[in-house]
Chain A
Amino acid sequence: AQKVTQAQTEISVVEKEDVTLDCVYETRDTTYYLFWYKQPPSGELVFLIRRNSFDEQNEISGRYSWNFQKSTSSFNFTITASQVVDSAVYFCALSEWTGGGNKLTFGTGTQLKVEL
């Protein structure tokens, strides 16, 4: 069975600090995809990034960066110079191919609070 662990339940930082959200996953698939989603208080899950298991290059998008390490089964997410608008719950997810579609297995999420 697939599993995603986000050990950090809640993180509080002061604006402009850098923050890293951890994600560790378990799967027996040799090919898999990992995702990060953001869930602001409004409730809608916003897609941030998708990574496949064959691509271990780190990715940067503005203030966001992702570090994928297959050797440690981790896919961590860093926000540089955090802003109040970054306050949300962030979910890491792993896709499982079921022969006709993909089920996403989510972690329990990390609540990020960015304060002035």
Chain B
Amino acid sequence: DTGVSQNPRHKITKRGQNVTFRCDPISEHNRLYWYRQTLGQGPEFLTYFQNEAQLEKSRLLSDRFSAERPKGSFSTLEIQRTEQGDSAMYLCASSEQGSRETQYFGPGTRLLVL
């Protein structure tokens, strides 16, 4: 059984460019979460999906951010017109459906905006 995978693991981009990250959850998990982690801080919730439906978005998710999970399997997180403040680790987690299920995290995508 493979865990959560994320690609790419590292991304360096110039300010103003668009970037897209991919997350492949554990195969039987129907919930998928995105978090952002900045240096010295704990992860902060961004958004989550149950199957293909995006059920909640954090205020941290500005209009430049969009997430999709088109077939209820993998998910993508796109950041348009990147800013230096977007530099962070973007973490994806998945879980089974349940009232208080455990979230299992991927290795993250580390973004650096120059």
Contact = CB atoms under 8 A, between A and B. Distances in A.
Given A98-B56, A101-B56, A44 B105 contact: yes
Contacts of A4: 42
A101 B48 contact: yes
B105 A102 contact: no
Interface string B35-62: 1000011111100101000011000000
Interface string A74-116: 0000000000000000010101011111111111110000000
Given A43-B107, A45-B91, A101-B56, A109 B102 contact: no
A98 B33 CA distance: 13
**Residue of A95, A99, A101 with most chain B CB atoms under a 10 A cut-off:** A101
Interface string A25-62: 00000011101010000111111001010000000000
Contacts of B100: 31-33, 50, 52, 95, 97, 102
B61 to A, nearest CB: 13
B37 to A, nearest CB: 8
B105 A101 contact: no
Interface residues of A, number: 30
Contacts, number: 71
A15 to B, nearest CB: 25
B67 interface: no
B54 to A, nearest CB: 10
A93 B91 CA distance: 15
Interface in A1-38: 4, 31-33, 35, 37
B108 interface: yes
Given A102-B100, A106-B44, 6 more contacts: A31-B100, A45-B93, A50-B100, A91-B43, A104-B33, A108-B42
6 closest A-B pairs (Cβ-Cβ)? A106-B42, A45-B105, A100-B55, A44-B107, A33-B100, A103-B45
